[in-house]
Amino acid sequence: MSGRLGPPMASLFRPEVRVSADCSLPSPQYGIVLDAGSSHTSMFIYKWPADKENDTGIVGQHSSCDVQGGGISSYADDPAGAGQSLVECLEQALRDVPKDQHSRTPLYLGATAGMRLLNLTSPEACAGVLGAVTQTLTQYPFDFRGARILSGQDEGVFGWVTANYLLENFIKYGWVGRWFRPRRGTTGAMDLGGASTQITFETASPAEDPANEVHLQLYGQKYRVYTHSFLCYGRDQVLQRLLASALQTHGFHPCWPRGYSSQVLLGEVYQSPCTAGQRPPGLNSSTRVSLSGTSDPILCRSLVSSLFNFSSCRFSLCSFNGVFQPPVAGSFIAFSAFYYTVDFLRTVMGLPVATLQQLEAASGTLCNQTWAELQAQAPGQQAHLASHCATAVFVHQLLSRGYGFDERTFGGVAFQKKVGGAGQSLGRRGGAEACRGLLPGPAGGERPRADATLQPLHAQPPGLPGTTA
């Protein structure tokens, strides 16, 4: 679930990025990005011509590959397995990129919140995984530029750049054969990954907390962007935190459907830094507990609300957990688990979700379903079926009470998997490639120069629920 733009991207992980592309490059060229998320890794191959492609001049996605197995952070106890897991997709890259282009094709791996969490619990294991991944990637004939962990701020800003680049909000190729800057605003970006969630949008006023403000200059235009990443508020970690809370406070799970039960290994529940604070003293990690669902939407909503602190705020406005956020305004794209959650409600459940009230009602309807009813409604989707209620309630709470969308502003939110005329996928690390150098190049009737300055793209100290991710 990623929307990658392209190369050369070597400066992505430096505090300041200045990029200008050169349209005299050979045609076509390729770039490879491995998007190492918390739950899985995807490979994207991009292709771009020296002048323009399909009369758009926008970088095109050439092919993609989903890596089998979990994210690279799941290989903490088997670092070599992390590198080996990438081989099948890398072999595909050898076939998809012309052989004479191999040595000049940049190859990157960007990891996000899953590896940030691993770095918190075991820096040694984190280094081992990155080392093993690097060893594998350097065995291929591509121009390897690094395997790094992105900060939460990077993740949010890059997703925003990707969305607006693909929507042609920065620059557009006109029918008269010239590039021009569209006279329209930018679109906000919201991402719900496995371990963290990000919100990023352009704002006119300075942020009360400088840590949430990034200044960009793209195609001669300056942008002031608000961004924040919440570690432990990604879908998978939220589900683990709800599970830990249900075990301690109820002895049953109100968000699970009635008729569904699971044998829960306590050691797995509390192994994440996101749930470590809930770990009971003297816990036997090998103990298994049987937990059953009760299909209780009201109690589920209360359980989800307990994940947020809506009362603490030292600024004029906050989202939650004391984090400054200006009011949301304008259009937004919500992708990754935002999209999949809403898509399940409207396509599988057949429920309207065009308004906040409808989203809340749809969540309640879903949470009232028994396990048998859900299985009949969504045959073949048992893997995540029991968790859809909790995720839907969380999405509604996050958007309405967390980010502050009301019925009016919610109307500007588009839940999308793909964007742009080429139908390119959006994802958590999306804009990384644009910021690393594939912003179209020189002036005149060709592509305008793109000097991209991102400040400050430094990694914030990682924290637990509610802090910068």
Residues placed in the known binding site: 194-198
Binding residues for ATP: 194-198
Phi, psi of 109 (to 5 degrees): -130, 125
Q: How many CB atoms lie within 10 A of CB 314?
A: 9
Phi first, then psi: what are they for 345, rounded to 5°?
A: -65, -40
Q: Which of 67, 68, 62, 66 is nearest to 96 (CA)?
A: 62
Annotated active-site residue in 53, 88, 155, 268:
155
Our answer to whether residue 155 is catalytic in this structure is: yes
Q: How far apart are CA 308 and CA 321, in angstroms?
A: 6
Among 217, 220, 174, CA closest to 57? 174
As a 3-state breakdown, the chain gives helix, strand, coil percent values, each rounded to 5, of 35, 20, 45
- Tokens 């989903």, residue located: 66
Pairing of strands 188-192, 332-336: parallel
d(CA 457, CA 157): 9
In eight-state DSSP terms, residue 113 is H
Closest CA to 384 of 429, 352, 428, 348: 348
What's the gap between Cα 55 and its chain centre?
A: 30
- Enter the tokens of residue 423: 């139908």
Task: Collapse the DSSP code of 211 into the 3-class scheme (helix H, G, I; strand E, B; otherwise coil) and give the result.
Answer: helix
Measured from the Cβ of residue 285, the count of other Cβ atoms closer than 10 Å reads 12
Q: With H, G, I as helix, E, B as strand and everything else as coil, classify residue 162.
A: helix
- Rounded to whole angstroms, the Cα distance separating 306 from 300 reads 10
Task: Judge contact between 17 and 434, C-beta under 8 A.
Answer: no
* Lateral strand order in the sheet of 413-415: 413-415, 332-336, 188-192, 196-202, 221-231, 213-218, 453-455
Q: Which amino acid is at 162?
A: T
Q: Reduced to 3 states, what is the DSSP secondary structure of residue 418?
A: strand
Q: Give CA–CA dist 309/371, Å, rounded.
A: 31
Based on C-alpha coordinates, what's the Rg of the chain?
22
Residues classed as catalytic: 155
